[in-house]
Amino acid sequence: MKKVGVAILGLGVVGGGTYKILTEHEEFFRRTQEVEISVESVLELNRERAIALGVPEEKIAGNIAEVVCNSDVDIVVETIGGVGAAREFVLDALNAGKTVVTSNKELFCKYSHELERAAKRHNAGLYFEASCVGGVPVIRTLLDGVQSNEIYSMMGIINGTTNYILTRMAKCGCSYEDALKEAQALGYAEADPSADVEGFDAAYKLSILASLAFHTKVPFAKVFREGIADVTKEDIQNGKALGYCLKLLAIGKQTHSGIEVRVHPAFVKEGHPLAAVDGSFNAVYISGDSVGDVMLYGRGAGEMPTGSAIVSDIIYAATHSENKYSTFKNTATGDKETNYVADFKSAYYFRLTVTDRAGALAKIAALFAKYNISIEELLQKSGDEKTATLILVTHETHEFAAKNAVARINASGLAHVESVLRVAQ
Question: Would residue 205 show up in a list of annotated catalytic residues for this protein?
Answer: yes
Asked if 136 interacts with its own copies (CB under 8 A), we say: yes
Nearer to its own copies, 61 or 218 (CB): 218
Contacts (CB under 8 A) with its own copies, residues 68-127: none
Asked if 288 interacts with its own copies (CB under 8 A), we say: yes
Of 295, 365, 367, 375, which lies in the binding site for its own copies, with binding defined by CB under 8 A?
A: 295
Nearer to its own copies, 21 or 236 (CB): 21
Contacts (CB under 8 A) with its own copies, residues 215-254: 215
Nearer to its own copies, 278 or 418 (CB): 278
Catalytic residue, candidates 110, 205, 222, 253? 205
Q: Would you say 18 and 8 are in contact if contact means Cβ atoms under 8 Å apart?
A: yes
Site string for its own copies, 317-336 (x = CB under 8 A): --xxxxx---x---------
Asked if 269 interacts with its own copies (CB under 8 A), we say: no
Taking CB under 8 A as the binding criterion, the range among 22-30, 91-99, 178-186, 241-249 that sits at the site for its own copies is 22-30
Of 72, 88, 150, 230, which lies in the binding site for its own copies, with binding defined by CB under 8 A?
A: 150
Burial class (CB in 10 A: 0-12, 13-18, 19+), 278: middle
SS3 of the chain: the string is: CEEEEEEEECCCHHHHHHHHHHHHCHHHHHHHHCEEEEEEEEECCCHHHHHHCCCCHHHECCCHHHHHCCCCCCEEEECCCCCCHHHHHHHHHHHCCCEEEECCHHHHHHHHHHHHHHHHHCCCCEECHHHCCCCCCHHHHHHHCCCCCCEEEEEEECCHHHHHHHHHHHHHCCCHHHHHHHHHHCCCCCCCCHHHHCCHHHHHHHHHHHHHHHCCCCCHHHCEECCCCCCCHHHHHHHHHCCEEEEEEEEEEEECCEEEEEEEEEEEECCCHHHHCCCCEEEEEEEECCCEEEEEEEECCCHHHHHHHHHHHHHHHHHCCCCCCCCCCCCCCCCCCCCECCCCEEEEEEEEEECCCCCHHHHHHHHHHHCCCCEEEEEEEECCCCCEEEEEEECCEEHHHHHHHHHHHHHHCCEEEEEEEEECC
Of 296, 393, 405, 417, which lies in the binding site for its own copies, with binding defined by CB under 8 A?
A: 296
Taking CB under 8 A as the binding criterion, the range among 164-172, 241-249, 304-312, 360-368 that sits at the site for its own copies is 304-312
Smallest distance from the beta carbon of 321 to its own copies, in angstroms?
A: 7
Asked if 30 interacts with its own copies (CB under 8 A), we say: no
Smallest distance from the beta carbon of 305 to its own copies, in angstroms?
A: 5
Nearer to its own copies, 180 or 301 (CB): 301
Asked if 293 interacts with its own copies (CB under 8 A), we say: yes
Asked if 299 interacts with its own copies (CB under 8 A), we say: yes
Nearer to its own copies, 137 or 193 (CB): 137
Whose CA is closest to 124, among 105, 102, 97?
97
Taking CB under 8 A as the binding criterion, the range among 67-75, 144-152, 155-163, 337-345 that sits at the site for its own copies is 144-152
Nearer to its own copies, 162 or 306 (CB): 306
Of 45, 51, 186, 291, which lies in the binding site for its own copies, with binding defined by CB under 8 A?
A: 291
Asked if 311 interacts with its own copies (CB under 8 A), we say: yes
| Contact residues for its own copies, defined by CB under 8 A | 17, 21, 25, 28-29, 31-34, 129, 134-137, 140-141, 144-150, 215, 271, 273, 276, 288-299, 302, 304-305, 307-309, 311-312, 314-316, 319-323, 327
Catalytic residues: 205
